Chains A and B, each alone.
Chain A
């Protein structure tokens, strides 16, 4: 595989030889060949894909449909298929020996009987209810254990894309084979173990708290503090299955869809075409204005004709058109403001 990097987003990848293509991480620039990093390790485990390319496109199509009307750009399956790429995104699994002390609060479920009473005018009926509550108790302790396979981010933007496509079940993970990487893009960790340790500590602390909770036979835990030494750390490079596809909106700005290759969860921006929103608003507002003016004129004209039946009919029609025109003018704002607000939310998913 060939090392490649994206000059725009800075993500490093391994791509099939001779297939640089569009960056599958930002979808907005062409990948450039890069020097191989001699210190980069090798992936050890993969979580196999559950979705094939057709299923991934189907998931994206459903995601696009949820975006509603006036979407900008060509998001048809035919267009998206051209940019669809099978990717592996990295995650660390950390093993470490912990020799430390901790404090936390553990919560035990207990049940309480309560009552609802109903008075029907002559007597009371009682309905008993069972509520489940949590009794919190402090615990301190000493822990000497090796913690295994604690999930730790390997990407700086883990909180972004990776979190939005939801968790991946690791129980199906297995050692990777060459066939897994064939034709796929491997995104390289941008948080090497030395840098990822700070990211790993909260997860390790939480894992230690989970052991303490389990040791106390409690159902809940909170307020964990941990002090001690971590030794003999071992980092396992896990590959998570991801599909990506990109498209260009009417301005040429490219947007990315990311699909969890195991669950089918999709994330990605679907901005609406602002010019189309204004056009719709203008058309509706103009129609409303015209109807109002026509209705007002019709009403005025009908006044001298009120002595005959047709005058009353004209007046009713005129008033109806006037009110209808006003309502259309007012409601014309809804798609405009709704669309602008939608676009703001989409830019939070992937800034332009």
Chain B
């Protein structure tokens, strides 16, 4: 043992004193990550030059002042997919960190119930979810954890407008006037809460696999063959690793629409800095971690089931009584803020929601359907079959049996047109629903 003078000894610089419960034992441990409370302390986003309100500019990627042109570069580290992950500890599930940090308050929409964290002073705003102007100020919610990572807005308003016009102008089943509603001042840039999940699933399946077997038998003194399926219990297994599964942390936006614009590049994840939120809205989660994990796990296990079923199918193509187990391992989660432009607009007395990915510019949303166009398309699709079946088939029955064949062809065409029409109807409903 080395001879060290304990009085002259000093702990490492990055260690701090920690409590000891034993007399005569002094302890030092690594300095904890910067205290959350101080990291999230209220910070001013005022311009240090002119005192005006500064905001984060997606074009400059910096905090800028539109009055004096001051630009403050952001030093936040890009952590990407290496961003710290959390385990599903019982402690984490019970205790969520709280508060927002930047001087913000919560706007509560009395019409749709959405909670929006906005900067102090932003007491009036149009709710992007229901276009309501009737909002009430509510003290910021304390029930929540703090998102430690975010992707800053990168899409500028001109790109946004162009993408939006393209989206609204696409498709023949929508009203022609729809594109005219694409006005960026109706869109609100908002950091939406997302849960990011990683996990590995080890699936083990068991099923009856059918093995085709040719059987020879005699009929009227002649040998004939037929194929029989012999079922055997077999088993197998396949693992899946899922990284970066996104589940919206809010029920205020349509999960379906959010999934369409989810193509976020998580490599751009940055450590949270208050400046990124300056001038933008941010929303706290209202879908808590356990519930979000239920959604995420359901998607993951279905993926693992598809992998295992495909493996079973590859044996012979005949599978029945398929059962499986999926063990989740190394489950991790992150809570992040992702940039999204949100809007709601009214058309024909109905409200429709549109989301634009604030990182990539991808657009998705509800669109009002011109139902008369759908009806016309279905009518156009079924008309030829009616013509063939009735106008051609019925007269031809007077001459020969071929008329029945034509009627059958017409009926089949009718069924095909109905099938296509049903699909079109569903797509239209899907486009209009949230």
Q: Closest approach, in angstroms, between the C-beta of A126 and any C-beta of chain B?
A: 8
Q: Which of B158-166, B321-329, B394-402 contacts A (4 or more CB under 8 A)?
A: B321-329
Task: Flag if A116 contacts B327 (CB, 8 Å).
Answer: yes
* Interchain residue pairs with CB less than 8 A apart (28): A99-B6, A100-B6, A101-B9, A110-B89, A111-B90, A115-B327, A116-B326, A117-B326, A119-B305, A119-B322, A119-B326, A124-B301, A133-B87, A137-B30, A139-B27, A140-B12, A141-B20, A141-B26, A144-B6, A144-B24, A145-B23, A211-B22, A211-B25, A212-B27, A216-B20, A216-B21, A227-B4, A228-B1
Across the interface, name the chain B residue whose C-beta is closest to A127: B325
* CB contact under 8 A between A139 and B29, given known A115-B328, A116-B325, A121-B321: yes
Prevailing SS type, chain A contact patch: strand
Task: Flag if B4 contacts A141 (CB, 8 Å).
Answer: no
Interface residues of B in 254-271 (CB under 8 A from A): none
Task: Flag if A115 contacts B11 (CB, 8 Å).
Answer: no
Distance of A111 Cα from B91 Cα, bound (Å): 8
Interface residues of A in 118-173 (CB under 8 A from B): 118-121, 124, 126, 130, 133, 137-145
**Interchain CB contact (< 8 A) of A119 among B1, B4, B323:** B323
Distance of A139 Cα from B18 Cα, bound (Å): 9
* CB contact under 8 A between A212 and B305, given known A110-B91, A119-B326: no
Task: Flag if B6 contacts A215 (CB, 8 Å).
Answer: no
Interface membership of chain B positions 297-335, coded 1 if the CB is closer than 8 angstroms to chain A and 0 otherwise: 110010001000000000000000111111111010000
In this assembly, does A201 line the interface, its C-beta being within 8 Å of a C-beta of chain B? yes
List residues of chain A with CB within 8 A of the CB of B11: 140-141
Task: Flag if A229 contacts B3 (CB, 8 Å).
Answer: yes
Interface residues of A in 232-273 (CB under 8 A from B): none
Task: Flag if A141 contacts B328 (CB, 8 Å).
Answer: no
List residues of chain A with CB within 8 A of the CB of B93: 113
Across the interface, name the chain A residue whose C-beta is closest to B8: A101
Count CB-based A-B contacts (< 8 Å): 125
Of B1, B2, B25, B322, chain A has the most CB atoms within 10 Å of the CB of B25
**Interchain CB contact (< 8 A) of A114 among B4, B305, B328:** B328
Total contacting residues, chain A, CB less than 8 A: 41
Across the interface, name the chain B residue whose C-beta is closest to A114: B328
In this assembly, does A112 line the interface, its C-beta being within 8 Å of a C-beta of chain B? yes
Distance of A256 Cα from B218 Cα, bound (Å): 82
List residues of chain B with CB within 8 A of the CB of A121: 321-323
Task: Flag if A112 contacts B88 (CB, 8 Å).
Answer: yes
Task: Flag if B30 contacts A138 (CB, 8 Å).
Answer: yes
Interface membership of chain A positions 200-238, coded 1 if the CB is closer than 8 angstroms to chain B and 0 otherwise: 010001000001101111000000001111100000000
In this assembly, does B28 line the interface, its C-beta being within 8 Å of a C-beta of chain A? yes
In this assembly, does B372 line the interface, its C-beta being within 8 Å of a C-beta of chain A? no
List residues of chain B with CB within 8 A of the CB of A212: 22, 25, 27
List residues of chain B with CB within 8 A of the CB of A217: 21
List residues of chain B with CB within 8 A of the CB of A205: 1
Across the interface, name the chain A residue whose C-beta is closest to B290: A113
Q: Closest approach, in angstroms, between the C-beta of B60 and any C-beta of chain A?
A: 41
Task: Flag if A118 contacts B323 (CB, 8 Å).
Answer: yes
**Interchain CB contact (< 8 A) of B21 among A114, A126, A214:** A214
Distance of A227 Cα from B5 Cα, bound (Å): 9
